[in-house]
Amino acid sequence: MAENKNNYAVHVRGVSKTFGAGTTAVTALKSVNFDAREGELLMIVGPSGCGKTTLLSTIAGTLQFDAGEIDVFGSALQKMSKSQTTAFRRQNIGFIFQEFHLIPTLSAVENVSVPMLINGASRAAAEKKAHALLAQVGLEGRGHELPTSLSGGQQQRVAIARALVHEPRLIICDEPTSALDKENGARTMELLQQVARAPGRCVVVVTHDNRIFKYADRMTEMEDGRIARVHEIKDGQSPEFIPN
């Protein structure tokens, strides 16, 4: 990886993305400039359809963009081939989804071990690490259970363990708490906050859920495919504005 300038984890310049063509074309990102720093938990908020998920997908390397530059920990995404992008995601990105996306026929440990296996680790090494991470998220001893026998909050914690097991530098979360109750949402965010504070890491969270705004270090507000405002948040304080 190239030298990382200004402690930026993610550095987005002039990124545009249009879906479809002709009369049905939707421009979801309009020359977006955006940064996330190492060691921070950054939230992206904004009204439905403003392009939050689209921005997150381009940063994560799961969606190709039309113009602009994206630098993630020194890697320039616009210069990568498809297979290089796949390898980049495999090594550098941890994913946390709204719907958890755990594989129902695999035990918690097996689910957590998947990213390491994709990276070519042995089964024994992957499962050892997976057990350790499950313990970190408070699920010690429940590794052999299937996702269906765990509560929603527990499933999301399994998903967090899975997002961290291969030690990625960037953790990408789309609506991680919207399927959870208040208590489990808070627990999830506390975990993500700890993760973000670890050196050389960054957590980007897209959310609608104003109950969790207080966990953000900074908050980026989007409107209609653009970044409208960026808020610095003082420790432990809820920001005074409420989007929507």
Partner 1 sequence: MYHIALKMLLGNRSKYIVLVSGITFSTLLMTQQCAIFCGLMLWTTGSIQNMRSKIWVTDPKVEQVNEVRQLRDTDVGRVRSVEGTAWAVPLFWGLQQAKLADGTFKQIQLVGLESATLVGRPYDVVAGRIEDVRLPNAVVIDELAIIRLSAGRAKPIGLGDTFEINDREARVVGICRTAKSFFGMPYIFTTYDQALQFAPKTRKMLSFILAEPAEGWTAEATARSIERATGLRAYTENDFFWATIRWYFRNTGIPMSFGITILLGFAVGVAVSGQTFYTFVLENLKHLGALKAMGASDGLLARMLILQALTVGFIGYGLGIGLTSLFGSLVLKKGEPPFMLPYQVPLGALAVVLFICIFAALLGIRQIRKLEPAIVFRG
Ligand X SMILES: Nc1ncnc2c1ncn2[C@@H]1O[C@H](COP(=O)(O)OP(=O)(O)OP(=O)(O)O)[C@@H](O)[C@H]1O
User: Can you give the binding site for ligand X, defined by CB under 6 A?
Assistant: 19-20, 26, 28, 46, 48-54
Region of 30-38, 49-57, 116-124, 146-154 interacting with Mg ion (CB under 5 A): 49-57
Cβ distance to partner 1 smaller for residue 26 or 103: 103
Q: What angle do CA 100, 47, 202 make, to 5 degrees?
A: 50
Helix 152-164, helix 182-197: angle, nearest 10: 10
Output the smallest distance, CB 241 to partner 1, in A.
25
Residue 26 binds: one of ligand X, partner 1, Mg ion, none (C-beta under 5 to 8 A by kind): ligand X
Output the smallest distance, CB 118 to partner 1, in A.
5
- Strand-pairing partners, residue 45, are 221
Contact between 105 and partner 1 (CB under 8 A)?
yes
* Residue 181 phi, psi dihedral angles, 5° rounding: -75, 175
Q: What angle do CA 220, 223, 58 make, to 5 degrees?
A: 65
Contact between 178 and Mg ion (CB under 5 A)?
no
Half-sphere exposure of 79 (CA within 13 A, CB side): 5
Contact between 57 and partner 1 (CB under 8 A)?
yes
Which residue in the set 13, 14, 39, 63 belongs to the binding site for partner 1 (CB under 8 A)? Answer: 63
* Residue 193 phi, psi dihedral angles, 5° rounding: -65, -45
The site for Mg ion (CB under 5 A) is made up of 53
